[in-house]
Structure 1
Amino acid sequence: MAKKKPSIVKRFDDYFGAGILADWQRLCDDIGLSGDFSSKTKCRKALKKVNVNIHDLLSAIENGTPVHRFRNVRELAEYSIGERKVFPKKWVRDGPVKALLRCSDPQDDP
């Protein structure tokens, strides 16, 4: 029997959709990125440069508020661990979550 997806995984899947280019572009726009997002690859590269908490990203989108972007991976890691808002790595597949996911030891300097 397959394990039930944690709610954060389901929420992100429901938000993101099928993964067509328009879904990637919407995500970049929702995060507040600007630039040429004419391909999934360009979107993925842009997403790898931002530090956002996925839980907070979804809440901001649902509430129509700006998405908080952290200055660096260390700040994001400390916040995510401290607030217990960590996306479960076992549910990460190639796609937008993988582009957004940051793995860092909070001891690391930016």
Structure 2
Amino acid sequence: MARKKRSRSIVREFDEYFGSGTLEDWQRLCHDVGLDETPSSITQCRRAPKTVHINIRDLLDAVKQGRQPQRFANVHQLVQYTVSTRKFYPINQVKEMGPVKALLRRML
């Protein structure tokens, strides 16, 4: 029960952080994940985070603290970190074209 509640909480927290999905929301996400260039369209913003390997829960914590989240050199390092810290994002809550989809990586 506590795990389900925590999962709903992280989903709600990300939705509040991201906003309604405007270009500005997508550009803020690109900036917050540490991309050097800010894409000029939503389509470009959707593609850009696929080059960055970060933990979504760490992203939310970093934003609250006004810092950049830890970036991993590759998916393998991100997976090792996520498994060891158990900082998963609930896969059943991912929207098809949403921002979380752009940040998700295959874990197992």
Q: What's the CA shift for 1:36?
A: 4.6
- The yes-or-no answer on 1:33 pairing with 2:35 is yes
**Runs of at least 4 residues off by over 6 Å:** none
Secondary structure of the residue aligned to 1:19 is coil
User: How far apart, CA to CA, are the structure 2 residues paired with 1:47 and 1:81?
Assistant: 21
Equivalence for 2:98: 95
Is the contact made by 1:8 and 1:55 (CA closer than 8 Å) also made in structure 2?
Answer: yes
- 1:80 counterpart letter in structure 2: T
- Higher helix content, 1 or 2: 2
Instruction: Structure 2: give runs of 5+ residues left out of the alignment.
Output: none
What are the residue-to-residue correspondences of 1:48-63 with 2, within 5 Å?
48-63=50-65
Mean Cα deviation higher: 30-39 or 77-86: 30-39
Provide the TM-score with structure 1 as the length reference: 0.87
Between the two proteins, the alignment pairs up a number of residues equal to 103
Give deviations 1:20-67, integer Å, cap 9, x for gaps: 110000011111212251111111111011000000000000011221
Q: Which residue of 2 aligns with 1:74?
A: 76
* Distance in 2 (alpha carbons) for counterparts of 1:75 and 1:32: 17
CA drift of 1:19 comes to 0.5
Q: TM-score, normalised by structure 2?
A: 0.89
**2: CA distance, partners of 1:88 / 1:25:** 24
Alignment-derived partner of residue 15 in structure 1: 17
